[in-house]
Every structure is written in structure tokens, then in C-alpha cells.
Chains A and B, each alone.
Chain A
């Protein structure tokens, strides 16, 4: 079902009951032949309401349904790595209650340091899922918390479409709102992080983001305290859900600044921003993870600066109102401005220099300076989602929205108001950040959908108005309400092919939108619906072959190791091991302690005896590695190995990256460097691999990912022994032997 194109077409023909802006409304009303349609207007209103509600309902169901591919194909399970931690915490929350959860100290991860979970996570997602679970239980639908977790993201995506509709209606009119809802329901940029099973912060965070922005724009438009309060609550939900709230707390002051600079200061703005900022800041500080960052961290200082600037503007406005003398006011203005600017810069300077205001953290600084992370913080640079975006990703995730975006910007500039300025700023800033980091395409998706919706809606409205006015032109000339209608009638007459061209363009728009819907569904089905924990490939006869090795390994750990066993692996798998294997890990995906990760990296890249000492110091019992050479699975530990070297080498200068490369080239075959051929990771991955024939016609020990025959086939392990290898050799577990009784 493709409700979007049909809804645009029919709705643009019928005037909306709520006149959006005075000018547009009057032209619409004047183009109607008054005596004929006035009798039908009531029925049209009801028709229009019915159409709108049914279109929204269909969009809601569509947004939910398009994200369910993986549940239908595999089973209802949690995907990827991060969601496993969220799932584990939600499970803990439902079992132990809220105050236990808030004060939870987790000793099963980051052995031997442990982790203060209550103070280092964003609780919004877990609390939401737990509340939904409790609500469903109260309605006596006994569902397991895992089902709720899997389906939370699609549910919130459907809610986001509703918010997008309201936002579009606020900015432009209800037609644009409907198109925005339809576009965002299937936009691949958003689907990628909110598919069923992807139980991650972004699923609810984008909903909170759009909600906050909508409420704030509404507050600025109406100037009422109630909407500002709602915006503050929306902001609180956003702070509780995702670290990306920093985007909101910087975009809002930037927007206020732009409004001030363009001379659009108004008291509505003053009321809205003040109330939202103070209440939002207070509410934001209730989350332990955020703490006092709103007053102490450099990333939040812009909001405070603009807050004080607004007070100054208000003060000046008030003084201007009191004083009747223009010259006196001008000199007063000059004095005040110089005073304020000097005080402001002095305060900022003292604060930054004395270290009270902490500078921008590495995560956000690398957004402003993309080269920073590669040189200074290799662990941020190593995450694949943090790489700069390629054009193909943009096209893949946005399709026709890419060229509708500039068109929408044009329309926004034609009709500038406080609301359209906001959406333009949101769109431009989020597109810039989306260009810096692939992961942030998600944040840009709602802006792009909204702006494109404006373009689509305005174009289609113009086209259908042309069609309608041409067909009803004998009646419009009869009624001379204003000069506009007469002028329009006079202008329309001389163009003969206008009707046909308009119809052709409408059909073209219809075709484009339907191609967009097809593309999005295809993208979702092919690219974004795979749970990374279960791999599938096509066998020789075309049937689907499923590799469930990860879960096999984790369940082996759960059932065959002592309960206090400690597992060392690379940090990618930490969350999954604790959630499914229920064992203590050394490092996991939280990556808050770089030295600890570097220690593991060093252990993996040293010779076996040095690594054994490190493992003894960390009380490691089992080591887990991921190896893709048999199946051709390319995100295995050998491909990630250079990052281990870099991160380890960043903290321990003993590990030098050139030792593992040959002429700058990374090789695993006979020509590889001796350090590479004998390091722990190599030995653990390729142990006994030299005897295995992986492909027909190739020598034994042929690595299918790297495409070479491995160099060191005769591997002997002295301090470790093989405990388990999964059926496709993807996960390999080794037991660390206790020290010998006689040394």
C-alpha cells in the first residue's frame, strides 16, 4: 500500500479547515467560487478530516510494519551488540525494581573494576520499556520483557510519524505534515537504527528529539508558558534517553541567536526560551549520568550565554520603552553593550582558563574537527559508525529526499517565519554533522524529511491549484472578491498547455514518490534487517544457510564454565557475553576505560608468554576470539587486529604497529612479519586451521577472508588449551591453564 502519493494528490485539492497563514488562506478562499462551494464546505471539511485521519492511521501502521522484516525472517531476538546491554539492564529493572536499578553496581563487567551502572547510563529507554511492560501486564497481556524490548523501536518510530505530522502542520500546513509523516515512516536513514530488535537508545531518542523541537517551535509561535513547559519535559525525556541531547542544547541557542541577529526578537521568544532553558536544565540535571554538566561543561555554555544575552535584549527593550529620548537611548545602548560583552568574555575566559568549565570532550570535539580523533583517540576513530560519510551512503539512506532538500529550502526561504527559520537551521546543521559521521545521518533524517515534505506539498499544491483553476475559470471570473483573483484569472488565460503540463508534472511526482517507497522497502529488507548475531548466506542450491555460531558459543559458556569464570575478549563482544553467557568479562562495549582496553589489546598482540603474564594479572580463565576464515565472515578479530595494536600501542609504547606490517602492508601468509606470525591473536585464530581444507582446489589452511594461505600452520599452544570451537569455526574459546606446580 502506498498511501503517500494518493494522500498528497487528493488533499491538496481540498482546502484545509484551519487556515495556516493569512496570505495562503486568502488566495485559497478567493480561488473558490464562493456561492457554489459554500454550501458544500461542511461536507468537504468532514471528508477532509476523514481522509486525514485514515491516512495518518495507515502511515502509523506502515511505519510499524516495515520494520518487522527480521522478526518474520529469523525470530524475535535482540540484534547487534549495544542492545544486549540495554536488554540486560531492562531485565534487571523489571526483576529488581526501580531503586535497585538506580543504585546498581555491576561487578560482572570490567573485571576487576566493575561498573556503576546507575550513574553511567541513560535510563530513558529502559524505563520506557519497563513501563510499557508493566502497562501490558496490567491489561493482563502476559508478555515477556524481551518481546517488549524488540518491538519498542518500531512502536516509537510510529509515534515519531505522528509528531512529524504535527511539526509539519506547525511549520507549513497539514498537507506538508502528512507528507512528512509518510516520508519519515519509511526513510532508510531512520529505519537503520529503529528496526525491530534494534533495542538501542536512538529508537526513542529520535522521537524525543522531534517532540522537543516541535514543542519548542510551538512555544515560540504561541509564546505560552504551557508549551514551554511541555518543551522542557520533552528535553528531559531526551536527556534521559541519549547522549545526543547536546545537539538540542546547542541548536536551540543557535536558533535564538539567529533570530536575534535577523531582528526577530519578540517577547514570545523570550518567554519560550527562558522557561524551556531553566526548567529543562533543572530537569536535565536529575539524570545522574549528566549531573552538573549543564553548568560546568563547555558544550553547554552556549545555552547559558544566550540565556544571559536574552536578558540583556529584554532589558534594552524595556529601557527603550521607558525612555522617550532616542539619543539618550543610543548612548545607553552603546555603554550597556560594551559592558555586557566585556563581562561575558571575561567570565568565559576565567572559567575556561581555570578549568572550572571543562573543555569539549573528545567525542564532540571530533565532530568539529574530524581529524582530531584519528591522531589522539584511536578508540573513537576505530568505531565503524564514526567514519565520515560517503556519497553513496547519503543516496542509499535518503534517495529522492536528497534533491528535494534544496527545493524545500527554497520554499522555506520564500516564506520566512520563526518556524521555517528553525527547520532550515536544523536541516543545515544536521546535514553538516551527517557528513562528518555516518551515525549522524539518523539525526538528519527527520529534518530532511520535513524540508522535503514542504517542497513536495508546496509543489503539488501549486500544480493542483493550476488544474482546478483552469477547469473552474468561467466561475472565478464571475466573482470579483479581490484583485488577486482577477489578476490570477487574467494571467492564467494566455497559457494554453498549462493544464496538460500540470497533469504531467503531477504524474511525475507520483512516480518519484512511488519509486522512493519501493527503494525504501528494498533497502530495509536487504540491508538493515539483519541481526548481526545470526548470520545467513545462500548455499549452493540457493537456499538460505543460517550461522548461529555466536549464540552457540555463548550458551556453551553459560553451561560449561564455572559461574565465576572471567572471559577475555575484544570489547565488541562484551555486552553479548554478559547478557547471554552470563559470565564476567574484562572489557565491554562501554569503552569507558581506555587503559583497560589497551591492556587487553596488548595481551592479544604479544607473544604467548608475555600475554600469559598479563592474563594471570587479570585472573582470566577463558579467552574468546572470533574467526571468519572458514565461512568468509569478514568482521572477525584478524581484521580488527590492527586496531588492537593501535589502541594497545597508544598506552603501552612496547607495542609498535610497524612490527606487524610488512612494508606497510598487513599480511597473514608466509611473508608476514615474525611478530605477527607468533602473536597470541594469530595463534588463537589459526590453531589447527592448517589442517583444514576450506575451499575446493585450494591448499589446506586457506583463509577465505584474506584470500591467502596462512603462514604459520604448525601452531603449538603452551599456556592455553582449546576449549570449544563452534560448528563453523566462527567463535573459538580457549581455556587458560593454571600455572604449573613446579616452576
Chain B
């Protein structure tokens, strides 16, 4: 991000895709941790395997779109 700030954001879609990739991965990781945490009463009946499978699927889609967007 600092690099882009210095050079300028000419290939804006590359910049955007990298920023969103970071944010997206972070968000998905947080969601996974929420879902797997045994202390959370709202996710009691969600088996952790299912949570992990969802996480993997979402990451797959995220990275596919990022790769398409990088140009």
C-alpha cells in the first residue's frame, strides 16, 4: 500500500485488488475464528469441519476474483 502511495495508483485495479485481497483474507480468517470458537453460543451447532470448508470455499472464490481483477 505504501508503494502504491508513493508511485501513484495508475493501475488502479491492481492496487485495489491487492488491498481488497488483504482485507478479504483478514475478514474471512476472523469469521472462521468466530465460528470455531467454542465459547460462542450462537455457533454451538455448527461443526468446525463445516466452518473450515466454508472458509476454504470463500477463500477460493476470493483469490479467483483477485486474480481476474489483477489484469
A interface residue numbers (CB < 8 A to B): 223-226, 228-229, 232, 266-268, 270-271, 274-275, 278-279, 281-283, 285-286, 292, 295, 314
Contacts and interface: CB of A to CB of B under 8 A. Distances in A.
B34 A271 contact: yes
Given A275-B27, A278-B23, A226 B54 contact: yes
Contact of B24 (A225, A282, A292, A314): A282
B13 to A, nearest CB: 8
Interface string B1-27: 000000000001100110010011001
B27, B34, B43, B55: residue with the most chain A Cβ atoms closer than 10 Å: B27
Nearest to B59: A225
Minimum-distance CB pairs A-B, first 10: A225-B54, A271-B31, A278-B24, A274-B27, A226-B54, A282-B65, A267-B34, A225-B58, A229-B58, A282-B20
Contacts of A285: 13, 16, 69
Contacts of A275: 27-28, 31, 58
Nearest to A225: B54
Contacts of A271: 31, 34-35
A279 B60 CA distance: 11
A282 B42 contact: no
Contacts of B46: 223-224
How big is the B interface, by class? 20 to 34
23 contacts: A223-B46, A224-B35, A224-B46, A224-B51, A225-B28, A225-B31, A225-B35, A225-B58, A229-B57, A267-B34, A267-B40, A271-B31, A271-B34, A274-B27, A274-B30, A275-B31, A278-B23, A278-B27, A285-B69, A286-B68, A292-B13, A292-B16, A314-B30
A279 B24 contact: yes
A224 B68 CA distance: 26
Contacts of A279: 24, 58, 61-62, 65
A596 B30 CA distance: 52
B66 A282 contact: yes
Q: Is the interface of A mostly helix, strand, loop or mixed?
A: helix
B55 to A, nearest CB: 6
A188 B63 CA distance: 43
A274 B61 contact: no
Given A223-B42, A223-B46, 19 more contacts: A224-B50, A224-B51, A224-B54, A225-B55, A228-B58, A229-B54, A229-B58, A229-B61, A232-B61, A266-B42, A267-B43, A271-B34, A271-B35, A274-B30, A274-B31, A279-B24, A281-B20, A286-B69, A292-B12
Contacts, number: 75
A266 B57 CA distance: 23
A275 B30 CA distance: 10
Nearest to A222: B46
Interface of B: 12-13, 16-17, 20, 23-24, 27-28, 30-32, 34-35, 40, 42-43, 46, 50-51, 54-55, 57-58, 61-62, 65-66, 68-69
A227 to B, nearest CB: 9
Contact of A268 (B27, B42, B66): B42
A279 B24 CA distance: 7
Contacts of A267: 34, 40, 42-43
A224 B53 CA distance: 11
B65 A286 contact: yes
Nearest to B41: A267
B16 A295 contact: yes
Contacts of A282: 17, 20, 24, 62, 65-66, 69
Nearest to A296: B12
A266 B40 CA distance: 10
A225 B51 contact: yes
Contacts of B42: 223, 266-268
A223 B20 contact: no
A274 B28 CA distance: 8
A225 B31 CA distance: 8
A388 B69 CA distance: 40
Given A271-B34, A279-B62, A225 B69 contact: no
A419 to B, nearest CB: 15
Contacts of A224: 35, 46, 50-51, 54
B65 A223 contact: no
B20 to A, nearest CB: 6
Contacts of A229: 54, 57-58, 61
B5 to A, nearest CB: 14
Contacts of B24: 278-279, 282
A522 B27 CA distance: 52
A223 B66 CA distance: 24
Contacts of B17: 282
Contacts of A268: 42-43
Nearest to B56: A225
Contacts of B68: 286
Contacts of B54: 224-226, 229
